[in-house]
Amino acid sequence: MEDLEVKKLAENHPELSNLLTEHKKLNRRVDALNRRRVCTPSEEMERKQLSKKKLASKDSIMKLVARLKANAG
């Protein structure tokens, strides 16, 4: 998801940088929950909610990147 071009854009756009940071945090937490052999019902619910937030975050990143690229070119 985070290729060189997106990293370069993030250097000059704090909003994109913040979105990427948030996405990474969500990804780490979801991965940690996915590695567990057994999750409690509350952990399972958290995993599902975080997965949805992660997907929404990725969508926001892609929309912002597309907008920044369109404005640059």
Which residue from 33, 24, 32 is spatially nearest to 53, judged by alpha carbons?
Answer: 24
Query: What are the pLDDT digits (tens) for 10-57?
Result: 999 999 999 999 999 999 999 999 999 999 999 999 999 999 999 999
At residue 4 the predicted structure's pLDDT band, cuts being 50, 70 and 90, is: confident
pTM: 0.87
Which residue from 34, 27, 67 is spatially nearest to 50, judged by alpha carbons?
Answer: 27
By the 8 A CB rule, do 33 and 43 touch?
A: yes
The mean pLDDT of 45-70, rounded to a whole number, is 96
Domain extents for the chain?
14-72
For residue 3, what pLDDT is reported? Answer: 80
Crossing angle of the two packed helices 4-12 and 14-35, in degrees rounded to 10: 130
For residue 2, what pLDDT is reported? Answer: 57
